[in-house]
Amino acid sequence: MSNFQLQDGALDEGQLAAELVHAGAGALVGFAGRVRNHHEGRPVLALDYEALDALCRKEGARVLDEALQRFPVMAVRCVHGLGHMEPGDCAVWVGVLAVHRREAFTAASWIIDEVKRRLPIWKCEHYADGTRQWVNCLACAHGTEDSHV
């Protein structure tokens, strides 16, 4: 099983953290990316995530392999949810085990940044006024950055 996975629907943060165990690890840093109920001042009712599955799995595995090369950590894992989600749902989870906390925080931060920057995943926001929009695509079409971390 790859340490990177795609899953239908929202993630169970507690279960993911409980599964990441090593007796020699003094630190577990888990990052949960949750669906917000607003975007640029507009109420968001729901999101739909989609991925280019095969390429996404390959690139996700590469990110985690690179993290293990870059940082002195013991284990890394990332799961991204796909499909329909609502505010409060956990859409992405990153977990890092290390002997001490500092390298675990650093690696987890690096992994989520790379995941957001590199993985072929898209999200469509559904707003309270009945409209929808692919995030990052409208402003990009006009040549400006629209990155929401």
Q: Which one of 46, 99, 120, 126 is in contact with another protein (CB under 8 A)?
A: 120
Structure tokens at 69: 């090369």
In the block, residue with structure tokens 């499909």: 83
Residue with Cβ nearer another protein (59 or 103): 59
Which positions from 8 to 47 touch another protein by CB under 8 A, shown as an x/- string?
A: -------------------------x--------------
76 touches another protein by CB under 8 A: no
Name the one range near another protein by CB under 8 A: 7-15, 17-25, 50-58, 66-74: 50-58
Residue 107 neighbours by CB under 8 Å, 6+ apart: 29, 67, 70, 71, 73, 76, 96, 98
In terms of Cβ atoms closer than 10 Å to its own Cβ (0-12, 13-18, 19+), residue 46 is middle
Tokens at 122, concatenated = 């898209």
d(CA 18, CA 22): 11
Report the nearest approach of another protein to the CB of residue 27 (Å): 22
Interface ranges with another protein (CB under 8 A): 33, 49-52, 54-55, 58-59, 80, 91-92, 112, 115-124, 134-137, 140-141, 143, 146, 149
